[in-house]
Amino acid sequence: MKENLTNEMASAHIKQLRAKTGLTQEEFCETFALNLNTYRHWERGDRKPTGSSLVLLKLIEESFHEVLSIMNKIKGDGPIMSDGKTLILRSLEQERFLTFDRFVKESSFVSNDAICALIKANGFPFVSFLNDKEKVVFSAGYETEDMKNVFWFNNNDNMYGGSLKSVIEKTYSAIYAIEVDLQDAVYWTPEMRNTRIVDIIDKTGIDGDFFNNIVRNW
């Protein structure tokens, strides 16, 4: 067994691990026989997993294929481990937070991968993140050698900022419109669809070119 199985696991790390499975807190605990109330303390950070619980979380993280096999048998269908876009889609389907602020502070699906997906939706081909103590710093660029820090997220209090803060907030609003407000648009006439899009753009304050760019890259 690897040495790092005995290390501590921070609350943000635990939350990200669960988010990548695409499971809610209840589903995660039911799947792996964890106490739900205790687990919620772990994600809040006022308690830390120890002993066999810590070993189990580390094994879930490291034994990727074995965990997939277990979870697929229980869940029944579809891939379980989710990329950032899938996590956002599941949040919109199940939670429907209207704003990015509520999503990042309240969603059970928020993760570094989800934030990367929002940044990529603006057309950046290269996006990465780095854990810097209690803060996660996200970088983006059109070339790997020209990437710049564009966003940060504080794991302790869920505060966030950076040069793309307002862009990411608007990106989330645009994606909400695409996936929720326009989910039946395929059945509408072109005139109905265009009218609805114009109405959404007016209400949200999103520029039409910005909205179209998100549609292309999302």
Q: State which amino acid sits at residue 180.
A: V
Based on the structure, what is the number of domains in the chain?
2
Tell me, yes or no, whether 100 and 205 share the same domain: yes
**Distance between CA atoms of 168 and 206, rounded to whole angstroms?**
12
Q: Residues 160-172: pLDDT tens digits?
A: 999 999 999 999 9
One-character DSSP codes across 31-69:
HTT--HHHHHHHHHTSS---HHHHHHHHHHHH-HHHHHH
Tell me, yes or no, whether 193 and 139 share the same domain: yes
In this prediction, what percent of the chain has a pLDDT beyond 70?
Answer: 85
Tell me, yes or no, whether 131 and 209 share the same domain: yes
Tell me, yes or no, whether 68 and 19 share the same domain: yes
Residue 55 lies in a domain: yes
Handedness of CA 71, 72, 74, 78 (dihedral sign): positive
pLDDT for position 137? 94
* Confidence band of 68 (pLDDT split at 50, 70, 90): low
Residue 92 lies in a domain: yes
Non-local (6+) Cβ contacts of 67 within 8 A are: 21, 59, 60
pLDDT for position 34? 86
Tell me, yes or no, whether 71 and 169 share the same domain: no
User: Do 43 and 35 form a contact (C-beta atoms < 8 A)?
Assistant: no
Residue 38 lies in a domain: yes
Average pLDDT, the chain: 83
Tell me, yes or no, whether 67 and 132 share the same domain: no
**Reduced to 3 states, what is the DSSP secondary structure of residue 152?**
strand
Tell me, yes or no, whether 157 and 177 share the same domain: yes
Q: State yes or no: pLDDT of 76 exceeds 70.
A: no
Mean pLDDT calculated for residue range 20-41: 83
Lowest-confidence pick of 33-37, 75-79, 136-140: 75-79
pLDDT for position 67? 59
Single residue among 50, 75, 100 that ends a domain in this structure:
75
Residue of 32, 155, 70 whose CA lies nearest to 104:
155
Q: State yes or no: pLDDT of 7 exceeds 70.
A: no
Residue 80 lies in a domain: no
193 vs 104, which has greater pLDDT?
104
Long-range contacts of 65-70 (CB under 8 A, 24+ apart): 67/21, 70/31
pLDDT for position 186? 67
Tell me, yes or no, whether 59 and 24 share the same domain: yes
pLDDT for position 101? 97
pLDDT for position 71? 56
pLDDT for position 73? 53
Tell me the residue range of the domain where 100 lies: 85-217
Q: State yes or no: pLDDT of 96 exceeds 60.
A: yes
**Distance between CA atoms of 67 and 133, rounded to whole angstroms?**
28
* Confidence band of 79 (pLDDT split at 50, 70, 90): very low
Residue 136 lies in a domain: yes
Q: State yes or no: pLDDT of 106 exceeds 80.
A: yes
Residue 6 lies in a domain: no
